Structure 1
Amino acid sequence: MKKTVTTIIIVAVLIAAGSATYGLVSADHVKEPQLNEQNKIVEVDEVDVQDPSTVQTYPEKEILAEKGYADYSVNVVEDNPNKRIIVLQDENGKNRVKSIYIKKTNRLKVIEFDKGLIFNEVI
């Protein structure tokens, strides 16, 4: 009788543990909400970070032009309240430069894929 009760308890615990983890979602698949100027939540898909007029207003655009990347095409990879990541491509479409702008500290890091870190300052 003890074996039967013990077996039933073990099976019940395993079933309960399995159903508790069934609905969990990993953090990799969760979208963080973004805030617009009025601090209202905006869906990530609604933000048009590829708009050329928006890209021209970025503070890091001036530094990138000074470094000789004005003719490269701009691909905004990420733009959220904390940081903005831009990848610059040459005329052949090859990724050449990565720009990481930390908004809270106004720090800009520019990384050439061939040479490594070439700029790391507060702007």
Structure 2
Amino acid sequence: MKSLFMTTAAGALILSAGSITDAGALPIEKTKKSQANVEVTENSDPVDILPEFTVLDEQVDSDDYQAQVIEDNQQTRVIILKDEDGHAQYKSVYVKNSNVLEVIDLDQGMVFKGVIAD
């Protein structure tokens, strides 16, 4: 009886330790994904490979701004261009299924609206 109790207790301990280890690993994965998303959204280098960036760069001299993707889902991608002080100056909205791009000057309004090549 004593060996059955010890075996059961050891098994329970191993199972609970495994679940603690797994539970601890999940937030680390989420953290890695979150950090990767932050790097992509705050780094302007990946933005220049997006299909809408060529038109965005033609409409607004993007070298003067820092691009930040603030939304990217199956339907749309929204990019904000910030000046050196961190103030948003332009916004681009790209509708993926129709390839429609809008570039908006946040002070003066619409700069560009049209269908772009994918």
**TM-score category by the smaller chain?**
0.5 to 0.7
Deviation at 1:57, TM superposition (A): 1.1
1:49-64 to 2 correspondence within 5 Å? 49-50=40-41, 51-64=43-56
Alignment: residue pair count: 80
Aligned-partner residue type, residue 70 of structure 1: S
TM-score (norm 1): 0.58
Aligned-partner residue type, residue 107 of structure 2: D
1:12 corresponds to = none
1:1-123 to 2 correspondence within 5 Å? 45=34, 48=37, 49-50=40-41, 51-71=43-63, 72-123=65-116
State how far apart, in whole Å, the 2-side matches of 1:47 and 1:81 are.
19
Give the match's secondary structure for 1:64.
Answer: helix
Query: What are the superposed Cα offsets for residues 55-96 of structure 1, whole Å, 9 maximum, x if unpaired?
Result: 121111111111233221011110011100011001111110
Query: What are the superposed Cα offsets for residues 17-66 of structure 1, whole Å, 9 maximum, x if unpaired?
Result: xxxxxxxxxxxxxxxxxxxxxxxxxxx84762425443121111111111
State how far apart, in whole Å, the 1-side matches of 2:61 and 2:71 are.
19
Aligned-residue CA RMSD (Å): 1.9
Q: What are the ranges of 5 or more consecutive residues in structure 1 without an aligned counterpart?
A: 1-43
State how far apart, in whole Å, the 2-side matches of 1:92 and 1:108 are.
26
State how far apart, in whole Å, the 2-side matches of 1:45 and 1:113 are.
28
Aligned-partner residue type, residue 68 of structure 2: N
List structure 1 runs of 4+ shifted beyond 3 angstroms: 44-47
Give the match's secondary structure for 2:74.
Answer: coil
